[in-house]
Structure 1
Amino acid sequence: MKIPVAKALFNSHSYSEYRKLISDLLLEGKSTGNEQSEDLTHYSTLNETRMNRLGKTIKITEENSLKLKSLNSEYIWLVISEGWCGDAAQLLPIINKMAVESGKIDLRIVLRDENEELMKLFLTNKNKAIPILIVVDKETGSVLEKWGPRPKSAADLIIEYKKEFGVIDETAKTNLQLWYLHDKGLSTQEEIINLMQNL
């Protein structure tokens, strides 16, 4: 196993520990990460509400449930995240439900800013985009695949917006959140399951 991956796993959180960490920090008026600002704390608060809602409403389709249960090995899904990240708030509740549904996947979450070495191995266009899901073989500890920071259609939406307007502003972020709302986690399920089946 790559040393940064092993180190990250050693310092990782379960989904419930990650949620508690964010909630506890918010009680102190803080967000996760090295940088602290009113904006980041505001996003973390919004994201906590989002994750609570998605935890209740997100459904794994019957077909996807069967596919997850029929995986032929055991895996660790190591996700790089931060509490203020809008994409992570949309995706982690789905990823968590998929892991639980499978019975063969152990979900672990690490914070980007605390795992610089790991983040550098999984950059997107030279950027520290998150969340990144790293698929680790539970038996051998080897990294098999990665996915993220968002489903392809959502990524395309942002690329197109940036081409047209030159920036990612609040309108772009709102459009992205609306995309997630309409998609109901289906693109994420499909993409991650395809990836797992192709291993």
Structure 2
Amino acid sequence: MTSPTFDELLTRAEGLVTRGRRSILGIVGAPAAGKTTLARGLADALGNRAVVVGMDGFHLAQVELQRLGRTDRKGAPDTFDAFGYVSLLRRIKETKETVYAPLFRREIEEPIAGAVCVPPEVPLVITEGNYLLVDEEPWSDVPGLLEEVWFLKPDEQERIERLVNRHRRYGRTLVEAKGRALGSDQRNADLIETTASRADLVLENLPLQNFVI
């Protein structure tokens, strides 16, 4: 199977821009699948016609994960404010005012409220995350708010290598990074993989180096 080029995906995204009303494009995949790279590449190419809102902004804060006893499972579906994410997508879809979305900062492992501005005149919002296609409430409400969902399926070994490198960049030792990538992250990845059949477009082995402009 031949992967689409960046220009082909950009053309498809531009089709959502010209619908005459706000559209939301979802990009989903396992950790380190390339969701952020693709989303930002598209948004950069579209300029002021698009903005990226990540699901990761709805990570529960560390203090709440500690209270719930879920710190070691950070990244699992129940470590997010899923209802908050769905509510934000609904606001983005339906309201006319400026919406402010949170942003997850990996260097501090915490979400920052009000960090992403979504002006009312922006026709396309690109949202990327792991659980956009999970068939359990409240995640199951997400697809109905999106015009399209694209699922990224990179080479598995390359994805794991990128994930280990990411963990190391943010302070984990090699042993810790591999333990996280092959442990809780892999359990999440296995769940995400089961949702691929619900996507509008499955993108295999995209050359991510070509998606940064």
Structure of higher RCO (CA pairs closer than 8 Å, 6+ residues apart): 2
* Bigger strand share: 2
TM-score by length of 1: 0.30
* Bigger helix share: 1
TM-score by length of 2: 0.29
